[in-house]
Chains A and B, each alone.
Chain A
């Protein structure tokens, strides 16, 4: 089993009047080389859960095990290392740096690895070729279209060749054609042996043939209907 969550909870602003329990006692197991979709209405806790699996947030309580390693309480420096080695994260708003070029955005996760500029350019080049954005290589990311931006975000998530890909509402800002393209791309990655977890309430995503498991969430809990 690649990912296990044991009674994981996350409360924002704990002990304050505006306290919000985003995730409550979630126990979950996600198999290796599968595509899992966390589905639920806005505010149900699916993005928080994804961020916990991706080591972006720390749970308030509970145990998170990814690739045999307990992540919930790993010190920051080890979390950063884990994120770099195991996780590629595609954010809802892509979070690319608009002032940097497409290539510079893609090579960002490679910088801490100490590769030479030539090696970094080569790795980025293969991905840009694959996603059809090689002609945009020198363009600032702020000047390209939404679909291209999304492909930059995917390329950046894959440049370290992580075994786990996380995508938070990846089709929220895309039309149906681009959404389909995106899902086909994820299907290819799954076929290449990656484990993929995404959050969405888009039927185009949840109903896609490559999705193995859909987990419904409601009020921070897993909802069994």
Chain B
């Protein structure tokens, strides 16, 4: 294990989240057995006060866990300085069997934890706590996933040694693989771009349809397209756009763009992408709640805002991703 500020931050983060979620699980079980919104009894009022505090703590804990994705990637990038063969986070993540699974679970966590925060925010906008039971059942279901997230994170950090030899991003994502694992060698850039821009246009069209007149099928399609576009965008950034940012045809990597050498442009790509995709997917998460008592105004308002924000953020993402590519096409090089 590398004992440095990054590992310590990740482990402490995990411990704090575990503690808070343990506390929340206790409240969740009490909600399952004793929650009765029609009761004026002391226990119900105490429970309402308790879940107010618990929900706030859970929201913070899940927020921290979402942010830990960034810390995790930056930590992996930092570890690459000490691991033989690694040039960036790609090499570090492949340095043991837990790196990539931990990253995938953390990316999934951004959405799953975020959905809980959405439910909570909708719930506290009603006078009657209509989603308490739902959000605590969801929280209890989320606990094994969270445990997996924390365990993989700790196992990854604990399993890192300076004597490990790993591969760099040029091997992992390059078109001419050497002896190392090659993840995307068969992926055609032309296909990537066609699907990428086609999906972006489809997303925009369905978003506009939704904003003009809300339809359930359209919200389902919109959210599904957001998920599809998110996965596609990660692929397109890695196989196509990153090369234009690095100005090197054989350098394809989703992590190096986060470095100072490339003006941290990766953050400008990933933040709108993650946030936009998350908001787009939240639309369908909120859809079944539209008719619930006390949420008739809150949910439609949230959904419309989510669609608008999602489209705006993904537009920013497409713009930032396309700029180096377009610049290259127009100027025929770096200019």
Whether A77 contacts B124 by the Cβ 8 Å rule is yes
Query: Which residues of A lie under 8 Å from residue B40 when comparing CB positions?
Result: 6-7, 61-63, 72-73
User: Does B129 sit at the interface, judged by CB under 8 A?
Assistant: yes
Query: Which residues of A lie under 8 Å from residue B49 when comparing CB positions?
Result: 58
User: Quick one: given A6-B40, A62-B40, are A72 and B127 in contact (CB under 8 Å)?
Assistant: no
Query: Which residues of B lie under 8 Å from residue A78 when comparing CB positions?
Result: 127
A-contact bits for B35-53, CB 8 A (1 contact / 0 none): 0000011101100110010
Q: What are the 7 tightest A-B residue pairs by CB atom distance, in nearest-first order?
A: A61-B42, A63-B40, A78-B127, A60-B42, A62-B40, A73-B48, A61-B41
Q: Looking at the complex, which one of A58, A59, A60, A74 makes contact with B127 (CB distance below 8 Å)? A: A74
Q: Looking at the complex, which one of B45, B52, B124 makes contact with A72 (CB distance below 8 Å)? A: B45
In the assembled complex, the Cα of A62 lies from the Cα of B44 at a distance in Å of 10
Interface size class of B (residues with CB under 8 A): 10 to 19
Interface size class of A (residues with CB under 8 A): 10 to 19
- List residues of chain A with CB under 8 Å of any chain B CB: 6-7, 9, 14, 58-63, 72-78
Which partner residue on chain B sits nearest A76 by CB separation?
Answer: B52
Q: Looking at the complex, which one of A9, A62, A75 makes contact with B124 (CB distance below 8 Å)? A: A75
Which partner residue on chain B sits nearest A58 by CB separation?
Answer: B45
**B66-87 CB contacts (< 8 Å) to partner A:** none
Which partner residue on chain A sits nearest B39 by CB separation?
Answer: A61
Query: Which residues of A lie under 8 Å from residue B44 when comparing CB positions?
Result: 73
* Least Cβ–Cβ distance between A80 and chain B, in angstroms: 12
Query: Which residues of B lie under 8 Å from residue A9 when comparing CB positions?
Result: 42
In the assembled complex, the Cα of A59 lies from the Cα of B48 at a distance in Å of 12
Whether A73 contacts B45 by the Cβ 8 Å rule is yes
Which partner residue on chain B sits nearest A71 by CB separation?
Answer: B127
27 A–B contacts from the bound complex (CB under 8 Å): A6-B40, A9-B42, A58-B45, A58-B49, A59-B45, A60-B42, A60-B45, A61-B40, A61-B41, A61-B42, A61-B45, A62-B40, A63-B40, A72-B40, A72-B45, A73-B40, A73-B44, A73-B45, A73-B48, A74-B127, A75-B52, A75-B124, A75-B127, A75-B129, A76-B52, A77-B124, A78-B127
Other contacts beyond A61-B40, A72-B45: 19, CB < 8 A: A6-B40, A7-B40, A58-B45, A59-B45, A60-B42, A60-B45, A62-B40, A63-B40, A72-B40, A73-B40, A73-B44, A73-B45, A73-B48, A74-B127, A75-B52, A75-B129, A76-B52, A77-B124, A78-B127
